[in-house]
Structure 1
Amino acid sequence: MAGFTLGFIGFGEVAFHIAKGLTSAGLSGIQAFDVMTQDPKIGPLVRERANAAGVGLVDSLALLFSSCDTVLCATSAKYALAIGIEASQLLRPDTLYADLNSASPGTKIKLSRAIDEAGGCFVDAAVMELVPPHGHKVPMAVSGSGAKEFAGRLSPYGMKISFISEAAGASSSLKMMRSIFMKGLTALLLETLTAGRKAGVDAQIMESISGTLDSRPIAETARLLVTRTAIAAERRVAEMGEVLDTLEEMGLDASSSQATKAKLQWLADFNLRSEFGSTPPETVAAVLDAILDRSTPKL
């Protein structure tokens, strides 16, 4: 039997899949509070999910905190801070409060202050993959005053938890940086494949991209792209100008390509060729350090 009682604030898709997995792994007595439980449209789905996951629904946050000493908030980044502040007034001493929402590091730090000052232990929990395919085994990075204890309580039930730091905001920073790539990649694919579809070459484009990305590990692809672009940014700005002309001629949205051209111009303005010459540097780190050196005001 677990030495803790788990509760969820919000019982949408994320909470449902995690709770269902934990129940199947042997954790019993899970509870949840969702403000939409009595909603005529959404309420039936909340209750159906709770029943399927073996989770008991309670009628208020106060009831949840009166019976649970480990609480996971899985609502929305928009409401995370307000819910956390309300929770700080209800939790018992040493309650673990984990925020799973995709909120900014700044929001997680504010949450940490509210929870920790109230006598609880805060966990900045960053969910690193889509939850439905993984269930409770979705990779999760955690930081904050309660992060180690959180991992200690839930890892035995199969949760894939990586401790990052005792500083709240560290794991959400990791997620935000990853999101730049993952969501940016999605936007690029949408723009690329929409244009390809209109031109009748979407299958060939996908085959070409797959051939490039599948030919080597992503770290090596990143090294080649970043180091070569460092000394060829100006030329690539001009090439993106041609891409923009093409999309305009096709009557298609070019917002991702516009952003790409702007970013390449930003890189070109650093004139890294003056440092590296015509030979690409060996590492991505060398490029990043050169950029940061030029971006940081000199005292």
Structure 2
Amino acid sequence: MTAITFIGYGEAGGILADALAKENPVTVWDCKLNGPERDAMITKAHRGGVRAAISLADALAGAELVFSTVTAGSALDVASHAAPLMTDTQYFLDLNSVAPQTKRQAAEYFKPGAYVDVAVMAPVPPGALRTPLLTGGREAEAIAELLTKLGCNARYGGNYVGSVSAIKMCRSVMIKGLEALTAECLFAAHHYGVEEQVLASLHASFPSLGWKDTFPDYLISRIAEHGIRRSEEMEEVVKTLSDAAGESVMSQATAIAQRHLPDRMAELGMTYAQLEPFNWKALAGVK
């Protein structure tokens, strides 16, 4: 067994922590444990078979692997607070979707080799431990082997920090851009009463994607449920492109578009839970 800690017990962290807890002792720490959602988080931890720590220091004590699964906007702050509390035998696995330069900044807080860049290459639900992970950094090859032994779908991706995050960030240009374009396209099509014709045309051009099935619901649901977090990730994508002296016009627009829908939902007092089972047409009038 391997002693594991997760900093961040949200969607991705919660799924991975609960899955690993079936065979290993897992401790979690989340900022919500210090707020009004504490009781709900304690209940979630109990159901997941993990221990809820009383502080970050408590969470890190005795852990062999420390997974950081917070938001993009919090990733660097978490690394800076965790590093001074860690020992020479612990590894910090940064799974957050941030720019390569942000990962390199985070790595500077740690002793050489203690920080591992991990790119999550697909949505964690529904794959859980089957979700493909790429590891980067000085000890990345050994960590990939250890993660594989724990049941994760991990693969070594490079020996320097930032390499696998570059893959992740460039991929996000397409994935999160497609989500934003789909919402913009179909909401307008619904307004004009031509959504079925538009979907039929998209299906004729790209039949393997499932435009006439659940694909549009899936893409738009990701914005409705996680648009704020995904907007933060796209801001890191913009940094990635800027560091490469590349254009980021589309990615800047995607960052704005990802945030717009959940912001509008919040203004209307609408939550994602109220929309389940999800159907994109229920949001077509939210502009």
Judged with a 3 Å threshold, the aligned counterparts in structure 2 of structure 1 residues 215 and 137 are, in CA distance, closer, same or farther, namely closer
Q: Which residue of structure 1 lines up, in the alignment, with residue 136 of structure 2?
A: 143
The yes-or-no answer on 1:53 pairing with 2:48 is yes
The yes-or-no answer on 1:209 pairing with 2:199 is no
The yes-or-no answer on 1:122 pairing with 2:115 is yes
Query: Secondary structure of 2:135's partner?
Result: strand
Partners of 1:45 and 1:14 lie apart in 2 by: 17
Q: Which residue of structure 2 lines up, in the alignment, with residue 28 of structure 1?
A: 24
Letter matched to residue 176 of structure 1 = M
Kept after mapping to 2: 8 A contact 1:8/1:71: yes
Q: Which residue of structure 2 lines up, in the alignment, with residue 279 of structure 1?
A: none
Judged with a 3 Å threshold, the aligned counterparts in structure 2 of structure 1 residues 49 and 150 are, in CA distance, closer, same or farther, namely farther
TM-score, normalised relative to structure 2? 0.69
Q: Which of structure 1's runs of 4+ aligned residues deviate more than 4 A?
A: none
Kept after mapping to 2: 8 A contact 1:112/1:144: no
Q: Which residue of structure 2 lines up, in the alignment, with residue 12 of structure 1?
A: 10
Q: Which residue of structure 1 lines up, in the alignment, with residue 192 of structure 2?
A: 199
Matches within 5 A, 1:21-100: 21-24=19-22, 27-40=23-36, 42-100=37-95
Kept after mapping to 1: 8 A contact 2:145/2:154: no
Q: Which whole-Å deviations, capped at 9, do the CAs of 1:196-217 have from their partners, x for residues lacking one?
A: 112221111111111211269x
Q: Which whole-Å deviations, capped at 9, do the CAs of 1:172-197 have from their partners, x for residues lacking one?
A: 11111001001111122122212211
Query: Secondary structure of 2:129's partner?
Result: helix
Query: Percentage identity across aligned positions?
Result: 30
Residue 28 of structure 1 deviates from its aligned partner by: 2.1
Partners of 1:212 and 1:33 lie apart in 2 by: 46
Kept after mapping to 1: 8 A contact 2:4/2:26: yes
Query: Secondary structure of 1:214's partner?
Result: coil
Partners of 1:63 and 1:215 lie apart in 2 by: 48
Matches within 5 A, 1:96-111: 96-111=91-106
TM-score, normalised relative to structure 1? 0.66
Judged with a 3 Å threshold, the aligned counterparts in structure 2 of structure 1 residues 140 and 215 are, in CA distance, closer, same or farther, namely closer
* Residue 162 (structure 1) aligned to one of 155, 167, 184: 155
Letter matched to residue 18 of structure 2 = K
The yes-or-no answer on 1:182 pairing with 2:175 is yes
Q: Which whole-Å deviations, capped at 9, do the CAs of 1:82-130 have from their partners, x for residues lacking one?
A: 211221111110311011111111110111222234xx52111111222
Q: How many residues align?
A: 213
Q: Which has the larger radius of gyration?
A: 1
Partners of 1:66 and 1:74 lie apart in 2 by: 18
Q: Which residue of structure 1 lines up, in the alignment, with residue 108 of structure 2?
A: 113
Query: Secondary structure of 2:111's partner?
Result: helix
Letter matched to residue 10 of structure 1 = G
Residue 170 of structure 1 deviates from its aligned partner by: 0.9
Over the aligned positions, Cα root-mean-square deviation in angstroms equals: 2.2
